[in-house]
Structure 1
Amino acid sequence: MTTSAHLAASPASVMPGDEIRIPLELRNSGHLVEAYGFEVLGPAAAWTVVEPSTLSLMPNTAGTVELVVRPPRDSTVPPGGLAYAVRVLPQEQPEHATVPEGLLDIGAYADFTAELTPRMSQGRTGARFQLALDNRGNHPLTVSLAAKDQSEALRFTLPAAPTVVAPGRAAFVRVPVRARRRMWRGVPTPHPFQVTAAPAEGVDPVTLDGTLLHRPVLTAAALKALIAVLALLALLAVAWFALLRPVVRGAAKEAVKGPVQAAESKAADAKDTADRAADAASAGPGGGKPGPGPTTSPTPGTGPAAQPQANLFSYRLTASAAAGGTKSTTFTVPDDKVLRLTDLVLENPQGDSGTVTFSVGGKPLLAPALENFREQDFHWASALLAGPKEEITITLTCRTVGRPPAAPAPSGCSAAALLSGTLE
């Protein structure tokens, strides 16, 4: 054999994202000048090059080239031992090719983030939040969850067992939050809290802030409606005792007045007949006349006219834009209608980066950054009003297209807005 090759450093340790150079020593034991080419074999070939790419050696001389190994910092490069080889190809005598083998020790790294959505939610008893655990490292993470609030006014429902997140994947955990006591009336009270996601592999924990806006069971509108109902019941009671009840009693008396007078007349006739028989005297028959007939009861008045009812309204706006572009989607209020907007939910399903602007009548009201949320909702006690032919618009500005887990890479950014309220 006229060619020999040896890898000087094996095994060799390298971290993803770093670079290592491994010497490859060659010797030409033949009698001809030989030129050599190189081919890296195995999974490491995608991120390994040989410098220089060719080498010429005189007879009975030796030389060295270097394997430059640059494993990417990506979850697809698992930690542990990775075998590789280099095929050394002599140009003059290809039958004397040799394949030295080596071993790489790929290091493990962690890249962990977490996100709580929405950051603030509201409810009369509680609300549901969602925690996204994102493992961008190259080995699985076991994440434990804990939650607390300083006022101890909330209860949290967390998984009893830690959550295992595979490398390059995201896990979603629902976090129901409930108030310990029910608030019957008053103003909405915010309760801030913190959720901590702590991986067990020595990775720094991530602490996330959230807020539950505790709303009273009886709102100001509900109290007004209850007072109105009680006032209506009181008015009906007054109308019954002051107007309808005397009318009913009068009608009853008038209904029995005629029969009573007829019975009294018959009794008087019978008495006169008996007196005439006893006295043996003739007397003109007496007769009673029937009293006046019953009177007609007055017609009771009608109640207040029914109030017009507003129609429930729900509409979804979606917008898509390529990276670096802007796209708007608009809803126009009908000509003879007024939209009373009470709820808004913004969605960023792909995890894109950029902004989404919410405008009413050409006036921007909200412009949150896409990277700060996957789903965010807004609720207004005082509704936003949009008049006839007024436009409600969402404008999507795409900076970076997201990459949803376990799904094909999208071609552009995508966002949506769910509008809820009443159309009057």
Structure 2
Amino acid sequence: MAVSATLRTTEVRVAPGAGARCHVLVRNSSAVVDQFVFAVRGDVADWTQIKPARVNLMPQQEVSVELTFMPPRSWEVLAGEHPFALQVSSREDPGGSVVQEGTVTVDPFTELDAVMVPETSNGRRTGRHTIAIDNYGNHSHRAEVSATDPDAKLTFRVRPHAPMLEPGTATLVRIRARPKRYFWKGPERLLPFTAHVVAKDHEPIDVPGAFNQGPLIPRRVYWLIAMLFTLMLMLVLLITFLLRQKPVSIATISPSVTSTPTSTSATPTTTSTRPRPTTTAKPTKPGGGVNNANGNGGGNGSGDDASNRSNTTTFTINSGAYPNVGGGPQLFSYVVPAGPNYRVTSVVLHNPAADTGQVQLRHGNQVLGTYDLAQVHGEFAVQLPDPPLVAPGDRVTMAVSCTNRRGACTPSGQFTAALVR
């Protein structure tokens, strides 16, 4: 064998970022001058230096070769034992090369970093956060993760609580922040807290965060409820208005002179005649028949007084009252036109459809009589005991309360009025 090599130290310990040395004694055992080349094999070769890298030796001459191990402070060089081999190659005798083996032990170091995403969460019941813990060290180890808030307004759930951190990786830890008290409405409340990452041989890491708590009912819900309530109120008012606003039948006629007590036309007709016998109905009770024993007229042409000899006019009030409408009876009026004053002497009520309900005759705020429609069959003559005096602009009204099961009530009233001179 042309060469011999002796590794003085087979085990070397080194800290990451530092350096450690060992020596190899190389001897030329041949009888000729030879050149020797040194090379390190294994994963330590990238961070190992050899001095000298090659040497020429005389026969029986020896030299000390220095190996310097300098692992970087990085997770790429893991903590623990790293075997290596020093190969000594002879130029003159390639087959006589030798190899010396040893071990380099790299010490562990811990280096961590943590960041929270998102830093501020928004919610009504729960805030969700994620902490990314980066392990820049060269060994695996556990860390404890917890969270606290200065005002003790939050409770926390950390999963996992003690994760295993692998070198060169990022480990995700989920934190749920839940408020101890909720509120229904009002502005949002910012609740800050701090997450703590604690690992052996490393200073604790504090990561700030915050939970922006909102009300249980968002503000837009109140706006929506208010809009819906307003729309419903407007709809109810519109329906009520449409049900109560029924067409009022007003016979807009002008006073005229007629020769008969009644006229079926809404437009008055005027004739000039001498007084002649007329047939009129006796006064009636509110809801009953005629207060006359024989039921016939109470006068003739020879017994007419000045009022009977005066000119007369008629007007008709038609109605169309819907049943079961709240708010009181439905009003159908006649407004006295400009001209002289008249005195309403009699009324003939018509109920051809046999409606049920009640009709009330009014002059302004004065009630002239109230009658049950069920007792009005066909025509029902009413002689007013105290004939009201109506002037231009006065309102004569039929107030109808309809109780039909279906269909509107359509009673009408034919009024006879005498001219007051």
* TM, length-normalised to structure 2: 0.58
Counterpart of 1:251 in structure 2: which amino acid?
Y
Match of 1:127 in 2: 127
Match of 1:212 in 2: 211
Counterpart of 2:208 in structure 1: which amino acid?
D
- CA shift digits 1:18-46 (9 cap, x unpaired): 23332222112332111101121222223
Structure 2 Cα separation of the partners of residues 224 and 59 of structure 1: 102
Give the drift of 1:93.
2.0
Unaligned runs of 5+ in 1: 270-292, 297-424
Counterpart of 2:191 in structure 1: which amino acid?
H
Match of 1:93 in 2: 93
Q: Does 1:233 align with 2:232?
A: yes
Q: 1:259 aligns with which of 327, 335, 353?
A: 353
Structure 2 Cα separation of the partners of residues 98 and 26 of structure 1: 10
Q: Give the superposed CA RMSD.
A: 3.1
Structure 1 Cα separation of the partners of residues 72 and 176 of structure 2: 39
Match of 1:250 in 2: 321
Match of 1:102 in 2: 102
Note if contact 1:258-1:294 (Cα within 8 Å) is conserved in structure 2. Answer: no
- Three-state SS of the structure 2 residue aligned to 1:221 is helix
Structure 2 Cα separation of the partners of residues 36 and 257 of structure 1: 140
Change (3 A) 1:265 1:177: closer
Unaligned runs of 5+ in 2: 248-319, 325-329, 331-349, 356-372, 381-406, 411-421
Note if contact 1:29-1:60 (Cα within 8 Å) is conserved in structure 2. Answer: yes
Change (3 A) 1:161 1:219: closer
- CA shift digits 1:267-324 (9 cap, x unpaired): 889xxxxxxxxxxxxxxxxxxxxxxx9589xxxxxxxxxxxxxxxxxxxxxxxxxxxx
Counterpart of 1:211 in structure 2: which amino acid?
A
Match of 2:291 in 1: none
Give the drift of 1:242.
4.8
Q: Does 1:116 align with 2:119?
A: no
Match of 1:139 in 2: 139
Change (3 A) 1:239 1:257: farther
Structure 2 Cα separation of the partners of residues 257 and 133 of structure 1: 94
Counterpart of 2:64 in structure 1: which amino acid?
T
Structure 2 Cα separation of the partners of residues 267 and 40 of structure 1: 132
- Three-state SS of the structure 2 residue aligned to 1:25 is strand
Give the drift of 1:106.
1.1
Structure 2 Cα separation of the partners of residues 257 and 40 of structure 1: 127
Note if contact 2:16-2:106 (Cα within 8 Å) is conserved in structure 1. Answer: yes
Structure 2 Cα separation of the partners of residues 187 and 24 of structure 1: 76
- CA shift digits 1:147-167 (9 cap, x unpaired): 111111112111364111211
Structure 2 Cα separation of the partners of residues 26 and 145 of structure 1: 54
Note if contact 2:160-2:174 (Cα within 8 Å) is conserved in structure 1. Answer: no
Give the drift of 1:243.
4.4
Structure 2 Cα separation of the partners of residues 136 and 42 of structure 1: 24
Change (3 A) 1:150 1:267: same
Structure 2 Cα separation of the partners of residues 21 and 257 of structure 1: 129
Structure 1 Cα separation of the partners of residues 233 and 215 of structure 2: 27
Match of 1:62 in 2: 62
Give the drift of 1:126.
2.2
Structure 2 Cα separation of the partners of residues 186 and 5 of structure 1: 84
State how many pairs are aligned. 271
Give the drift of 1:5.
1.1
- Three-state SS of the structure 2 residue aligned to 1:183 is coil
Q: How does 1:190-205 map to 2 (within 5 A)?
A: 190-199=190-199, 201-205=200-204
Structure 1 Cα separation of the partners of residues 231 and 223 of structure 2: 12
Change (3 A) 1:267 1:93: closer
Structure 2 Cα separation of the partners of residues 118 and 263 of structure 1: 80
Note if contact 1:83-1:102 (Cα within 8 Å) is conserved in structure 2. Answer: yes
Match of 1:222 in 2: 221
Match of 2:11 in 1: 11
- Three-state SS of the structure 2 residue aligned to 1:202 is coil
Query: Which one has a larger percent helix, Structure 1 or Structure 2?
Result: 1
- Three-state SS of the structure 2 residue aligned to 1:234 is helix
- CA shift digits 1:62-105 (9 cap, x unpaired): 11222232223332322222221111011112232111111111
- Three-state SS of the structure 2 residue aligned to 1:134 is strand
Change (3 A) 1:5 1:133: same
* TM, length-normalised to structure 1: 0.58
